[in-house]
Amino acid sequence: MQDIFVNSIMSETVVCTSLDATLQDVTTLMRDSKCSCVVVTENDIPVGIVTEFDFIRLLASRGAREVFSAIRVSGIMSRPVVSITENTTLFDALVITTARKFRHLPVVDADGKLKGIVNLVDLAQAHFHTYEKQREIIEQTISTRTRELVEANDKLKALSFVDALMGIGNRRAMEVDLEHSHAQAARYGRSYSVALFDFDFFKRYNDTYGHLAGDYALKTVAGAIAGRIRTADRVYRYGGEELLLLLPETELDGAEILVERVMHAIRGVAIPHCKSPYGVVTLSCGIASFPLAGENCSSWRDVVAIADQEMYRAKHNGRNRSCRLRPKKLAENIRDSLLVLEPDPHFAGA
């Protein structure tokens, strides 16, 4: 199936304003153009976006009697603006809007200049059209063309960004979200953290209770994590029994507090595990943040790799705990992770 790109569904007519525009100017623009957002630009580069939600937030905090003409748009716009490029795929754009709960995404060219805008309705309609097209292919070939059916069904599955078992984001959606989050953080000098979780003694659990029970444990723990995180946080299935938690705008200390809250919730679920020394299903977790002190992380993969090292350090230290990257050189952290002492026989295994 050929990818659908944003430039084929975006609206090229974008209502724009400048940083020194007043709220009265913006309300007039929105009324006359019958649009729900106005993009704030400087030299054709989007620097913010004003939506109807910004007005609701303003009214709730300052009251309806505020003199709009005295308020500059730069004081209420959402910033930094999250934009996408013209060659962003439909899938990637859907992941960004869904993960971050955005309704509008300005589209920019290679120089960062505004080219258009897409909204959630545009994306949903395009996704639905693609889904229906794939369904028609399946229906037309189901009786005679088995090979084509399997191929079409695989492409249909590729449209999904939710893990069918756990009900959280899948690996493909995770990579898109991390790629975009890392680029935004690097561009605007922001922080983000990742926490990588791995089930303790999960092979023993499956061998003892069966794979159906293992699936139940995965789904239950994923739900417990999703129920304890903030609205802006996102949880994904990293692979197998590993989960990744993305914490935007969060430095290392804050991430450690949030992870401990999640670990406490998982212990509270208390899924029995007679082959674990803890008696219940537990997880080990590694935490890393961007930007890292003294390290040049050019990709989100560098951050996840460090979280992975810390997760294995938590395993070595007894499991059912989290470890975080300390403010020292990466080489020292990796060296510490590899200094494996004689393991406790009670804690042998995955």
Listing DSSP states for 43-67 in one string gives TTEEEEEEEHHHHHHHHHHH-TT--
Number of domains in the chain: 2
Q: What is the pLDDT of residue 241?
A: 94
Tokens of 224: 């417990």
Per-residue pLDDT of the chain (350 residues; tens, 9 = 90+): 567 788 887 888 899 999 999 888 998 998 888 788 899 999 999 999 998 888 877 776 655 555 556 778 888 788 788 899 989 988 888 888 888 878 888 999 989 899 999 887 777 777 777 766 777 776 666 655 666 666 766 666 655 788 889 989 999 899 999 999 999 999 888 999 999 999 999 999 999 999 999 999 999 999 999 999 998 999 999 999 999 999 999 999 999 999 999 999 999 999 999 999 999 999 999 999 998 754 667 899 999 999 999 999 999 999 999 999 765 544 555 555 555 444 444 444 56
Question: Which residue intervals of the chain are DSSP H helices?
Answer: 23-33, 52-62, 90-100, 120-141, 146-158, 171-188, 202-209, 211-226, 252-269, 300-316, 330-338
What CATH number should be reported for the domain holding residue 103?
Answer: 3.10.580.10
Q: What is the pLDDT of residue 153?
A: 67
Same domain, 179 and 298: yes
Name beta bridge partners: 115: none
Same domain, 99 and 234: no
Residue 63 in domain: yes
Residue 65 in domain: yes
What CATH number should be reported for the domain holding residue 299?
Answer: 3.30.70.270
Domain hosting residue 341, numbered range: 171-347
Residue 150 in domain: no
Same domain, 227 and 324: yes
Which among 63, 97, 122 is the end of a domain? Answer: 122
Residue 234 in domain: yes
Same domain, 118 and 23: yes
**Longest CA–CA separation in the chain, Å:** 73
Q: Which residues contact 63 (CB under 8 A, 6 or more apart)?
A: none
Crossing angle of helices 120-141 and 146-158, in 10° steps, is 160
Q: How far apart are CA 17 and CA 3, in angstroms?
A: 33
Residue 160 in domain: no
Q: What is the pLDDT of residue 240?
A: 92
Same domain, 90 and 179: no
Q: What is the pLDDT of residue 154?
A: 67
Tokens of 332: 């020292």
Q: How far apart are CA 282 and CA 151, in angstroms?
A: 38
**Is 241 among the residues known to form the active site?**
yes
Same domain, 234 and 341: yes
Q: How far apart are CA 214 and CA 162, in angstroms?
A: 19
Q: With contact defined as beta carbons under 8 Å apart, do 169 and 234 qualify? A: yes
Same domain, 310 and 215: yes
Same domain, 203 and 74: no
Tokens of 173: 């959606």
Q: What is the pLDDT of residue 340?
A: 44
Tell me the three state secondary structure of residue 185.
helix
C-alpha 79, offset from chain centre: 18
Which among 88, 122, 156 is the end of a domain? Answer: 122
Residue 135 in domain: no
Which among 103, 122, 141 is the end of a domain? Answer: 122
Same domain, 224 and 335: yes
Same domain, 192 and 317: yes
Q: With contact defined as beta carbons under 8 Å apart, do 7 and 54 qualify? A: no
Single out the catalytic residue among 148, 241, 242, 251.
241
Residue 127 in domain: no
Q: How far apart are CA 25 and CA 16, in angstroms?
A: 11
Residue 32 in domain: yes
CA atoms in the 13 A half-sphere facing the CB of 221: 30
Same domain, 105 and 202: no
Same domain, 220 and 332: yes
